[in-house]
Chain A
Amino acid sequence: MSDYNFAFLDEQTKRMIRRAILKAVAIPGYQVPFGSREMPLSYGWGTGGVQVTASVIGPGDVLKVIDQGADDTTNAVSIRQFFTRTTGVQTTTRTDEATLIQTRHRIPETPLAAGQIVVFQVPIPEPLRWLEPRETETRTMHALEEYGAMWVRLYEDITRHGHVETAYDYPVVVNARYLMRPSPIPKFDNPKLDRCPALLLFGAGREKRIYAVPPHTRVRSLDFEDHPFTVETWDRPCALCGARGVFLDEIIVDDKGGRLFVCSDTDYCGRRRQAGGDLA
């Protein structure tokens, strides 16, 4: 692949994206516009995340790519392959070995460490979008910290369902200032954002926005005083590795209603089983 520059993007583009990232880090949760490029994958498949990864990756990095927690699904495999071919960096499935993790819609179960960078793929960066269609107006709302409308949405959820229905892409306030969409991660992962020691970068390719949560930044999920934020729980452990307190996927195993609940994080589950995790 010597016909391509290291990590596909040309150096000027990387420079532009890095500047956007620096600004995003300086203003946690603020959406920085950037000149998103066409990438050799379609919109919705992680063009934003790929551009951010391509801009921060170096020859010494160890890359992990996950899609819904799994290292072996189409999106993860093709993006990992893309970077292997365009950079030649070492790849891994182990969360603790990776220096750079591109993720679609999950945060690994293994706690993140200082020095790691996590890149999220973001479909729609604007948390106020479904409440206010005008971009000029949402920008003003961010500038003036007018987030009341977001609570109207939570109020509606509680009124209609008795609890907040939003289960993924649950809105958060970053550093007690900017309202942010954490990309469609399950709300189960929201607490992992708070004071996370790793650098969290968010890239939206189609919407041309980059935002960031720097290490150790406070991230609070929205709630009401009398309806506090809660995460999903399961009444059973992972059927493969027996882990509790992790995010489980439901898998239909036959056409007679048989189902299995297993870890969505394949790396975490696999390593537990390798280490002889009890199958209780």
Chain B
Amino acid sequence: MSLAGERPLLRVRGLTCWYGPQVGCLDVGFDLWPGEVLGVVGESGSGKTTVLGCVSGRVVPTAGTVEFTTREGDLVDVLRLSEAERRRLARTDWGVVHQNPRDGLRMGVTAGANVGERLMAVGARHYGTIRTAALDWLAQVEIDADRIDDLPETFSGGMQQRLQIARNLVTRPRLVFMDEPTGGLDVSVQARLLDLLRTLVADLGLSAIIVTHDLAVTRLLAHRLLVMRRGQVVESGLTDQVLDDPQHPYTQLLVSSVLQP
């Protein structure tokens, strides 16, 4: 990563979002560096998803700036981009992994078409090439090649989630937003998915923002952590530091409420 050490990939300052009288998030700020994985944790309704939505340009915040360093090295304000530029960024440089794979997949078309869609969206017009790329990515997310022509509906939950990841990574994004990527999966499938994510993030040098309420997920994947409560960041720091030595009373509560088998 040539950009490392020069400029953060993403710089968020004073991000505030009100839903009428309800607070979405309040004065959230952080830097995300190339190759870094940032975890955002907190209870339901703490503003995690709002932050993710604002940063990826899907929710318009009330105030604040979100600056992104593009592939070309330009610093752009995500919130001031034209819709055309934002959508181009969203299908090239960014990926979004939804909690429910049905939100992120086209359920009516085959796995191959799901993986190939982004390629076709950026101009791939050779069927053979698209198919080869799809096969390659299915292999990377450990889906058998002979499932390429099956509908996602016939896949298990874990496979659907892996397919969603392949579909996002096929255009080699530099930043992936994940909203509860392991939610709704059973524990062994979760573990496998986490393992896969960790490998992919390391191999591809991806940066990612992972929103989750599962501290174990962040322990495995995230380098740094933001702890949110009622729309505000109450604590931030290196993951191990925050989890092993929580300073804020809320973080202490959060860490102590994890069940130890």
A interface residues, Cβ below 8 angstroms from B = 140, 143-144, 146, 148-149, 151-153, 155-156, 158-160, 224-227
Contact = CB atoms under 8 A, between A and B. Distances in A.
Given A152-B113, A155-B113, A226 B128 contact: yes
B253 interface: no
Given A224-B127, A225-B126, A227-B127, A151 B87 contact: no
A183 B112 CA distance: 29
A203 to B, nearest CB: 30
B112 A155 contact: yes
A228 B121 CA distance: 19
Given A148-B122, A159-B110, 5 more contacts: A140-B83, A148-B118, A149-B121, A152-B116, A159-B113
B206 to A, nearest CB: 23
B131 to A, nearest CB: 8
Given A158-B127, A160-B149, A226-B128, A148 B121 contact: yes
A148 B109 CA distance: 14
Contacts of A226: 126-128
Residue of B110, B116, B127, B130 with highest tally of chain A CB at under 10 A: B127
A156 B122 contact: no
A159 B118 CA distance: 17
B126 A155 contact: no
B36 interface: no
B120 interface: yes
B128 A151 contact: no
A220 B110 CA distance: 26
Given A140-B83, A144-B84, A155 B125 contact: no
A159 B112 contact: yes
A136 B130 CA distance: 29
Contacts of B112: 155, 159
Contacts of A149: 117, 120-121
B172 interface: no
B106 interface: yes
Residue of B110, B120, B128 with highest tally of chain A CB at under 10 A: B120
Contacts of B130: 155
Contacts of B121: 146, 148-149
Interface residues of B, number: 20
A224 B237 CA distance: 50
Contacts of A224: 125-127
Contact of B87 (A144, A153, A159): A144
A155 B106 CA distance: 13
A158 B116 CA distance: 13
A158 to B, nearest CB: 6
Contacts of A225: 125-127
Contact of B117 (A143, A152, A159, A227): A152
19 contacts: A140-B83, A144-B84, A148-B120, A149-B121, A151-B120, A152-B106, A152-B113, A153-B109, A155-B113, A155-B120, A155-B127, A155-B130, A158-B127, A159-B110, A159-B149, A160-B149, A224-B125, A225-B126, A227-B127
A151 B125 contact: yes
Given A144-B84, A146-B87, A151-B120, A156 B113 contact: yes
Interface string B102-115: 00001001101100
Interface string B121-158: 11001111010000000000000000001000000000
A153 B121 CA distance: 12
Nearest to A141: B87
Nearest to B85: A144
A184 to B, nearest CB: 22
A60 B40 CA distance: 73
Contacts of A148: 117-118, 120-122
Given A144-B87, A146-B87, A156 B125 contact: no
A225 B125 CA distance: 6
Contacts of B117: 148-149, 152
Contacts of A140: 83
A164 to B, nearest CB: 10
Nearest to B118: A148
